[in-house]
Structure 1
Amino acid sequence: MKAIYCSILVFLILFAAKSVNAHDQEVDDEGEFDYSKDGEKGPRKWGEIKQEWGACSNGTMQSPIDLSSERVQIILKPEKKNYKASDAIIKNRGHDVQIEWIGDGGWMSIDGNDYRLRYTHWHSPSEHTVNGRRYDMELHLVHLSTNPNVENKIAVVGVFYKIGTPDQFLSRLMTDISSMVDKKNATRNLGTIDPKDIKTESKRYFRYIGSLTIPPCTQGVIWTVNKKHAEENARPLQARNSRDVDLYRTILNANN
């Protein structure tokens, strides 16, 4: 079996919400939904399962979408981050595997606002596509802001992966991940995990306004896609609906 390595594509998400409520965040319970194409709990039915999931069916700014090169702008923009090695756990949530930082995993800054790193998880295959191309896997690094004056409370950095040369970060986790297969809600301590080991550097990225990709499919998410396992758990592509997709070029801080 070939290993998985990080491709040169990375993306960033800003979740636009005045407060971070359990109602707005991704659902953890796999029993409430699944990814079957024609099943009663599949993506086509998500919006009918619960009233608060209505945006999954009725929303006009849903994610993921195909990130084509049409209507793309190149913009210079500095980004800062200060990740730290910290204690973490790994959890099998049923529909994905998630790492949660228990201590201080550090932060990233967007438009002068700091977002603390909380957790990361994977989707296979990738949810977004680039000019019609789908990657083997997609990682989300989720950050939260505690600043009451910040409108966008959640920021997510994401990475596309494809089969190839081993990725060091994933290789370290494979023993723990393999031992948790078919063990829903299983949790293990990972010890100290350094987020800097995840390859997230890029000089260019796309941006568009979309949504969370699992219920409740909350809209108002600013997706920024940088250009640099088992069962599928990727939501099908959603209608673009004339939304602009901008391509940003990042100036990396010399101290990062």
Structure 2
Amino acid sequence: MRRDLFLPFSFSLSIALMGLLMFFPAGNGVWAAEKADQPLVDLGAELAKIKKTEQPADDDKKPVEKKETSASDEVKIDEKAAKNETSHAVQWSYSGETGPRFWGELMPENQICKTGRNQSPIDLRDAAALGTQGLPGLDIVYREVPLKIINNGHSVQVNYPLGSYIKLGNHRYELLQYHFHTPSEHHKEGFAYPMEMHFVHKDGDGNLAVLGVLFQEGETNPYLNGILKRLPKEVGKQEIYEDLKLNPVNFLPANTEFYKYSGSLTTPPCSEGVYWVVFKHPIEASARQIQQLNELMGDNARPVQPEFARHLLKSWMEPDNDRQLYEFY
């Protein structure tokens, strides 16, 4: 993989999740790019908020008698609206009665969070993963764009315009956004890493593919510093910084060996059919950098989920196990 790649993202709020992405169509097909300038606030939350609103036909509309409202009535209305908005914003969280254990019971559309059998994240174990050379190749084409950053109430998220993408085999997925979790959501050999980044992509049919990058404590990450200096404190307001242009390819490990499995969103509504690619090798960030993000976001990792009948694949083959045996005296 070349590291002189590019990367953008932005996305349309209408997302339809398809079935499991276990194969790819031959050829490139037709890519229908749709302009979407509105920021992606939160992938899981936005999917949960999409509801059909029915408008009555003109013949069924009845005249409504106008009532005069006093100033005190208007204050009550505003307070009620603010209360409803607040309750909607905190309809799920990472702890307490709205935490991951109860996501499937908070709203009907979240039921799969409790009943699904292809949920994410999972524990990645080399011994259980099946090595195969038949996995599609991974090509990453990201470009440098001005920073668009938002605190969506659950994570720090960087939004991207169209033009940056990955290819799995010959299948193209546009980069929508990337965001952070502290600690990591995926585990390796039973242990969580201090941080994880998710790069969320979508194809022309609405299918999702997510790249996961694990972070371990080590040297200061210079590419992360630009984001940390511009962390948004206000929830829900996107900030744009023309003076800072980042290429997220700099957050990918040099060794691109990866795990692959079919999973779900890690936030409500936990929709399944998400193609997951998690890199085997972590990258580094300093303890202070990781702490800065955690101080703003809090602990925002969903616990690992059962694998059930799924198979975890890995993009590399293990060496032969025919090893010489030694005797010790």
TM-score by length of 1: 0.79
One of 128, 131, 136 as aligned partner of 1:74: 131
Q: Which has the higher helix share?
A: 2
User: Equivalent residue for 2:62?
Assistant: none
Contact 2:160 2:176 in 1 (8 A): yes
Separation in 1, partners of 2:154, 2:271 = 18
Separation in 1, partners of 2:18, 2:255 = 27
Give yes or no for the alignment of 1:140 onto 2:198: yes
Q: CA deviation at 1:175?
A: 0.9
Give yes or no for the alignment of 1:124 onto 2:142: no
One of 209, 213, 225 as aligned partner of 1:155: 209
Aligned partner of 2:18: which letter?
A: A
Separation in 2, partners of 1:87, 1:98 = 14
One of 159, 175, 188 as aligned partner of 2:239: 188
Contact 1:67 1:131 in 2 (8 A): yes
Worse overlay, 214-223 or 192-201: 192-201
Separation in 1, partners of 2:201, 2:263 = 17
Give yes or no for the alignment of 1:173 onto 2:216: no
One of 161, 164, 170 as aligned partner of 2:218: 164
1:246–1:65: structure 2 CA closer, same or farther, 3 Å change rule?
same
Q: Secondary structure at the match of 2:316?
A: strand
1:80–1:154: structure 2 CA closer, same or farther, 3 Å change rule?
same
1:167–1:226: structure 2 CA closer, same or farther, 3 Å change rule?
same
Give yes or no for the alignment of 1:34 onto 2:93: yes
Give yes or no for the alignment of 1:212 onto 2:212: no
Superposed structure 1 runs of 4+ greater than 4 Å apart? none
Q: CA deviation at 1:202?
A: 3.0
Contact 1:16 1:222 in 2 (8 A): no
One of 151, 155, 175 as aligned partner of 1:92: 151
Structure 2: give runs of 5+ residues left out of the alignment.
Answer: 1-15, 20-39, 47-87, 282-293, 318-329
Matching of residues 226-245 of structure 1 within 5 Å = 226-228=279-281, 229-230=294-295, 231-245=298-312
Aligned partner of 2:250: which letter?
A: D
Q: Larger RCO: Structure 1 or Structure 2 (Cα < 8 Å, ≥ 6 residues apart)?
A: 1
Q: CA deviation at 1:201?
A: 4.0
The one-character-per-residue Cα deviations of 1:184-240 (angstroms, maximum 9, x if unpaired) are 123211323222222244342222222111000011223222213221000011122
Worse overlay, 161-170 or 65-74: 65-74
Aligned partner of 1:136: which letter?
A: P
Matching of residues 11-22 of structure 1 within 5 Å = 17=18
Separation in 2, partners of 1:35, 1:120 = 19
User: Equivalent residue for 1:223?
Assistant: 276
Separation in 1, partners of 2:89, 2:310 = 31
Contact 1:27 1:215 in 2 (8 A): yes
The one-character-per-residue Cα deviations of 1:94-145 (angstroms, maximum 9, x if unpaired) are 110000123x442111120111112100011000101012101110111121
Separation in 1, partners of 2:146, 2:267 = 27
Q: Secondary structure at the match of 2:45?
A: coil
Separation in 2, partners of 1:124, 1:203 = 22
Larger radius of gyration: 2
One of 250, 258, 272 as aligned partner of 1:197: 250
Separation in 2, partners of 1:66, 1:175 = 32
Separation in 2, partners of 1:92, 1:203 = 29
Give yes or no for the alignment of 1:108 onto 2:166: yes
Q: Which has the higher strand share?
A: 1
Report the number of matched residues. 222
